[in-house]
Chains A and B, each alone.
Chain A
Amino acid sequence: MLIRILREYLRPYRGLIVLLVLLQLVGTIASLYLPSLNGRIIDQGVALGDTGYIMRTGGWMLAISFVQIVATIAATYLGAKAAAGLGRDLRASIFARVGDFSAQEVSRFGAPTLISRNTNDVTQVQTVTFMGAAMMVSAPIMMVGGIIMALREDVGLSWLVAVAVPLLALSVALVIRKMIPQFRLMQESVDWVNRVLREQITGIRVVRAFVREEREEARFAEANTQYTGTALAVGRLMAMVFPIVMLIFNASTVAVLWFGAHRVESGQMQIGELTAFMSYLMQILMSVMMATFMSMMIPRATVSAGRIGEVLDTESTVVEPTAPVALPSTEDAVTLDHVEFTYPGADVPVLQDVSLEALPGRTTAIIGSTGAGKSTLLSLIPRLYDVTGGAVRIGGVDVREAALEDVWDRIGLVPQKPYLFTGTVASNLRYGDANATDEDLWEALRIAQAEDFVRAMPDGLDSPIAQGGTNVSGGQRQRLAIARALVANPEIYLFDDSFSALDLSTDARLRAALRPVTRNATVIVVAQRVSTIVDADQIIVLDDGKVVGTGTHDQLLETCPTYVEIVESQRSAEEAA
């Protein structure tokens, strides 16, 4: 997957990369040429006492050093550009892909993991790309070049390269191989320790109420001990790397001197060449080491690339029709026609044979116990999910045949979890209609019973809202979400248990205020409280995914035992009598 992503997303930067490789080649050759010049200084300058030669060659070395730095910096520039570009393009692709997802795909992945795939995982791939451009390109060039140069200096001594390089690569790789599973374990241990702490802080009241401090301490000690154990193991392995590398480097130098001395003695090599050879060997070893360390990043990046690939390869189950049918401009009745819905992977349908008709100007309420499928039913109307059987129609047109924009245009949704966006009260309210005036906003707030507290805020409509709306209370958030839907002035209102966090009198006033503005709209309300829906024109009682009763409050009291049961549970004995 990593390779596929790299191939696909580096394609626009092909030119840059070719240039980068060339520059790395120039830089590497330049840095390899330096020891050879130094060797000549010794053999032809020092040994012969030719100061002029020493100065001239020294000048050359400086010039070549300069070429090297220019080439390397240019290569770094290109590498950074290509990597950052890859990151940007990849992020954009994922973001666009997820934007096309339906609620089904989003809930299958889960928002948190999608977020981290779009951010952290891309960063992983981007970093490995940059490091790769900087080091993994130059390492092989350095190795090949170094070997060639070493061979040029003395073929007879080059077997040392063949011994030292694999020895270094092998021993470093061996340690790393032992380390990788430890790293994974370490991440797990960190997660464990942090999870326990997180639970203790979020659940502090429970811990204290049940007097479980000691138990929590023991639980933490267990996690902490494992973490420390793993960290120790990792740390000790890490402590081995540096001494091993140093030893191999140093031992190689010693070996070059010893075997080189014999070559020099027999006249097959000059002493300057010996010095140059030593430098080459060091350079080769250094690049091998770098490449090995870099390769440590590859497994992590591969995992990230896999996670990214999963997102990119997922197709949305809700697709735009190729030839959309226009929704009738005046007819906004919502009908469900023998609807069935099964969550992917589930055996049992959540909704079975559900039929209902919600008419404009009427309020249709849906009530039922937890897990009866109320929210699922609601989410079928704006095509957050597609039905697995039957059809949902707006104005007689199957929503799957209409353009998505067209469907969404009609609908004002107040979700169960009233999510608000970072910004201000006003920016949130204008979510549905960017051109709404301040008066429109205040009107919506007034209906939603949110006017008082917004007025009480220091900056009124411009008061800041934190991400998710966490800086206002649950009840306030719910009312703002209702106001947001009102500002959009849709033809169809969907309230998903939107009054649950309100106290009873606020609930009552809100519904009273809603009535005139929704006079011509189709209103569908999901609720828990009977009091919220008692005055609805039509109440649908859901039980276990099936409609067990349809009618007004009074009718249902006569005909639907499930409804009676629900009402009973909320009424006091003498009230029901």
Chain B
Amino acid sequence: MKLAISAAAVLLIANAASAQTLDDLKNDGKNTDNVLTYGMGYYQQRYSRLKEIDKTTVKRLVPVWNLSLDNQWGEQAQPIVYNGVMYVTNARATVAIDVGTGKQIWRTPVDWLPETTRVVCCGVSNKGAAIFNGKIYRTTLDAHVVALDAKTGKEVWKQKAAEWKEGYSMTVAPLVAEGVLITGISGAEFGIRGFIDGWDAETGQHLWRRHTIPARGEKGNETWPQDNNAWEIGGGSTWITGSYDPDLGLTYWGIGNPAPWASQSRPGDNLYTSSVLALRPKTGEIEWHYQFTPNDPYDFDACWELILADMDVAGVKRKVMMQLNRNGFLYVLDRANGGLISAKPFEKVNWASEINPESGRPVETEIGQKLRAGEQVEMWPSTRGGKNWPHAAFNPETGLLYANTMHRGGIYKHLPIKERIVGQRYQFIENRPAPVAAGEAIAHVDAIEPLTGKQRWRTPLFDHPHWSAIVATGSGLLFTGKETGEFIAIDADTGKTLWQFQTGSGINAMPITYTHNGRQYVTVLSGIGGLWWNAAREQLKNVPQGGSVWTFALMPE
């Protein structure tokens, strides 16, 4: 008996040391000391019930430490926090930090050839790590998946997902579901055929690959031309981490735009581009799909966060999934079967008049017809979308989505399609921003009703869109950041900015909030980079590069 007790004790200790079990991941948010998943919970609500920092106390919010990340390429990641250690990634390194002191514990560099950035369409970055069973997982720009020992930063395994010279790259944060490490891929702008991979988290063994474009003979391939190879080079990237419902046993991944952007070579719906796939984590088997933008000629990539919630719909509690789609519509789907519950515009849309509630398909206006006929159009939203990737938050108490949206049209035209050259751009479009009317905002922070798309409030932005995710708290605050460097706290009831702090470079990352030694902390990465910086470098010339981690807490009274 004594022996049995000792064995149990040893097991307990071993468990505590390695930890981040599947239950820990599933319960992320319940232990507020940890942030273990992308989106602060498998549902990706980016909501914390913490209330110490509120509308009154936020004026005492001050930095407790800052750590340089020694990186010029831009910071986009969401940090992971476990047992007082923070794990941060960017394109150049993985870093472990002592949450109490802000001191670096280890730093493991990531190396890739300088030519690799040729196949990165929209910013050299990394969206963050995953944690499971004593290991930190990340992807690399040159399309590898790496497992590091969480204690030492030493490599445990490394696997090549694809060949960067063929246009494949990786910035996505991995997801661990049911013990399987799941990763996506980038490269639709280079004519890849997208996929989602499942890996054995322990050994790195490749378990499955779900191509986002079905092969000849598979269901869905009939939505591609049968007399050319468009399906083999048809895009469908998966560059934002999927969400996961442990009860339904489904992981949900948004699928990106088809390739090339010009659509002449690929008549048909082009499944599963610009869609969502519900997959079984252990096998990659498709449970259901829903396509937002059939035969997408607009670059209406559907990779954005898929926020899960249990919500009253006409008096019935429904398991829903929400997406503020790039195409300007806010979709609410039944996440058990992919049925459409509602799809309402949340921004100015001129390419479609509505989403047909029966068929779930957009009713296209003449914009799409003109575009497909080779004419130049002024398109709303622009190819950058009514919202880009910076993730929205959902507060289950208020039932509202909080999002950094964009209000900008594009002057857009298809060009004749030429043969694909491996590793080179495969888009064939002319794409320029539409002029902005005097006094018109180019972006907003919005509080949005999921089922109507209506704004409860909207705060206009005139200089730059916010290119940072939002975190909502139980105390009625929103945290987000500005390209000009300010980290800000917003009143979730009014949209008014209550507090701000200049972080020294632009913010285009994902804040988190958690507790350390009983105090509420807020952390965000600063370091300008990514798509908006690419678009507005001249206007942002006085915002210096350079990545760092900022952590804030209330100054004691």
Is chain B found bound to chain A in the same assembly? no
B residues adjacent to A (C-beta < 8 A): none
A residues adjacent to B (C-beta < 8 A): none
